[in-house]
Amino acid sequence: MKIANFNVTMSHMKINKTFKVIGSMTIITIFAKLAGLIRVSLFASLFGTSAEAGIFLGASRLPILFFDLTLGAAILSTFIPVFNKKLTNEGRNEATLFANNFITITTVFTFIICLLGVIFSEQIVGVMLPGFDAYQAYQAAQILRILFPVIIFTALAFTSVGILQSFDEFNVPAAISLVSNGIMILYFIIFGRNFGVFGIAVAMLIGWSMQFLIQVPSLIKKKFRYRFVLNLKDPAMGEVVRLAIPVLISSWVHPIGIAINVMFASRLGAAYVAGLELANTIYIIGVGVFTLAVTNFIFPKLSRLHAEGNVEGFSQTVKTSISYLTYAVIPVMALFIALAAPIIQLLYGRGEFGPESVRLVSSALTFYALGMVSFSITEILNRTFFATQDGKTPMIASIIGITCNVALSAYLIFVQGFGVWALALSAAFGMTVTAVILMSVIARRRKGVLNRTFVANLLKTIFCGIGAAVTAAHIYSFAAANIGGAGIFAQIAKLFLASAGAGVVYLLLCWIFQVKEQQGLVAKVLGKR
């Protein structure tokens, strides 16, 4: 009896620790996203959705796209499982040796990509931004040359994140974007438009380099030391390479989806590129607050559970993560759909960002938001398959999702002649297709993860989100008719009333329909076991 009570106590301690870690990561991520909002708001107020804004945003997207296509997901999704397996089976020294070799090889690889990118900047812009005229293409190529070294620092930052997370340090990795956003904010406040978009590019490069540098003290604290190792014949590196290709392809659905949208938008005009990118920034901030915190926490854990052969713990972690993440994301999605225009007006609507810019960006945000739940589910399930070193399944799902995105984008833009909102809708559709495929596969392979009860509970939560969206739209309409003024405090008051009302309705509906995640949170708050 005492042993049973001890096990229950230990289980509760682990649960509480998990909630505390995720909670602190979420708080840090929220501050980082708020800083991101301030950064992009300052940029929008200075440049609006002008051609100059489109040139910078289109060009600045490309280095990160190249990183995502060549190394992005592979660093975290193949490095972490192999590193953790080394830690578990061979000890810290062997794991550190592997990490040093990995750092050396990825640094050399990204340096080569950077060099090629700088040399062939004009050609890259010509392919990726085909709608730009000669002057716009020249400006974009110059910005691209400044920003390509970003991929070197990003590779170092991601690898450091993987090492620290494997040593159970999550707060510092969660704060890296807070630092880079802070540097950009300081630049905007001090220099504004004085050095044009080229000055912003330099500040962005400095900010991204700091994402790596701020992790160095924590690496030292964890007694990790880098020393030059270059062993291309290392079996662990061979394992990483074997896993990397399917993992990379499976992670392409979002970055390629955005790249496709930008390519199509460039044919509509540079201003449309700016509008699409500004909408996507808000979308990523909204969905990333919870998604990044959860996925960054569970992936090392899933890797360890798989290495230990803990099937029950693995399945329960996946199920719980998806359930609570969708419960948190759905009301955000509801607000983005119902209140896109006033949200964009509040965040961007000043300076050079006029009413036409608000309409352009808010229309894209509304349709991007339709894919928020799918994005969250896809991110978790991708990590689930990666943790079991199965990159093939997410790869196939991603290829199908990307194909659907391209086909729908081409039809809506070239055949139907619709505007930028159609590109956002296509991206959401491609993400949803990917999520559905991954959910169907995981349901077949791991019994009890995504069963009928889970699906029914998810559908109930979505229904509650629809109720919240309808409530938000009606309350905002009422508030707009009765609260005078267009100042920032009036805007905040209207949005607050609409959001608060929607939140109350969401919680009430979740209680009426007995959504399990809410019941679990209420029980925890009340101290029930």
Q: Is residue 119 a part of any domain in this protein?
A: yes
Residue type, 391: G
Residue 415: the pLDDT is 86
Please indicate, yes or no, if residue 505 is contained in any of the structural domains: no
Rounded CA-CA distance 522/529 in Å is 11
Total residues found in the chain within this entry: 529
Q: What is the pLDDT of residues 297-316, one digit of tens each?
A: 777 778 778 777 777 788 88
Q: What is the 3-state secondary structure (H, E, C) of 486-523?
A: CCHHHHHHHHHHHHHHHHHHHHHHHHHCCCHHHHHHHH
- Which of 200, 510, 250 has its CA nearest to residue 385? 250
Phi and psi for 130 in degrees, rounded to 5? -65, -20
Question: For residues 96 and 109, what is the distance between their CA atoms, to the nearest angstrom?
Answer: 20
Q: Which residue has the higher pLDDT, 294 or 394?
A: 394
* Residue 521 belongs to a domain: no
Helix axes 420-445, 392-410, angle to 10 degrees: 150
Looking at residue 164, its pLDDT comes to 86
Q: What is the pLDDT of residue 19?
A: 55
pLDDT at 112: 92
User: Does residue 152 fall inside a structural domain?
Assistant: yes
Percent of the chain topping pLDDT 70: 88
State yes or no: pLDDT of 485 exceeds 80: no
Please give the average per-residue pLDDT across 150-176, as a whole number. Answer: 83
**Cα(259)–Cα(127) distance, integer angstroms:** 11
Res 34 pLDDT > 50: yes
Mean pLDDT over 340-348 rounds to 90
Could you give the CA distance from residue 310 to residue 88 in angstroms, rounded to a whole number?
Answer: 14
Residue 287 neighbours by CB under 8 Å, 6+ apart: 329, 332, 333, 372, 375, 376
Instruction: Examine the pLDDT at 429 and tell me if it is beyond 90.
Output: yes
Residue in this structure with the two tokens 């990044």, named with its chain if needed:
292
Q: Is the pLDDT of residue 143 over 90?
A: yes
Distance CA 217, CA 422 (A): 46
What pLDDT is attached to residue 380? 87
Nearest Cα neighbor of 392 from 239, 245, 254 is: 245
Residue 288 binned pLDDT confidence (cut-offs 50, 70, 90): confident
- Average pLDDT score, the chain: 83
Check residue 25 and give its pLDDT: 66
Report whether 267 contacts 128 (CB < 8 A): no
| Alpha-helical regions (H) of 148-175 | 150-166, 171-174
Is residue 5 assigned to a domain? Answer: no
Q: Which pLDDT band holds residue 1 (cuts at 50, 70, 90)?
A: very low
Cα→Cα distances 364→257, 372, 434, Å: 14, 13, 20
Residue 282 · residue 428 · CB < 8 Å: no
- Alpha carbon dihedral 500, 506, 510, 515, in 10-degree steps, equals -100
What's the pLDDT tens digit per position in 53-67? 889 988 988 888 777
- Structural domain contains residue 372: yes
What domain range includes position 143?
Answer: 28-450
- What is the Rg, in whole angstroms, of the alpha carbon atoms belonging to the chain? 23
Q: What is the pLDDT of residue 16?
A: 53
87 and 307 in contact (C-beta within 8 Å)? no
In a domain? residue 216: yes
Q: Which residue has the higher pLDDT, 370 or 528?
A: 370
Residue 11 confidence (pLDDT): 45
Secondary structure (DSSP) of 20-46: HHHHHHHHHHHHHHHHHHHHHHHHHHH
- Say what percent of the chain tops pLDDT 90: 28
Q: Are 478 and 428 in contact (CB under 8 A)?
A: no
Give the E-state strand segments of 207-269 in sequence order: none
Dist. CA 129–CA 151, nearest whole Å:
20
Determine contact, residues 275/420, Cβ cutoff 8 Å. yes
- pLDDT score of 505: 95
- Mean pLDDT for 498-512 is 93
Instruction: Among 179-183, 261-265, 363-367, 461-465, name the one with the lowest average pLDDT.
Output: 261-265
Q: How many domains does one find in the chain?
A: 1
Q: Is the predicted pLDDT of residue 6 greater than 90, yes or no?
A: no
Q: What are the pLDDT digits (tens) for 317-341?
A: 888 888 888 888 999 999 999 999 9
pLDDT confidence of residue 473: 94
**Are the C-beta atoms of residues 350 and 263 closer than 8 Å to each other?**
no
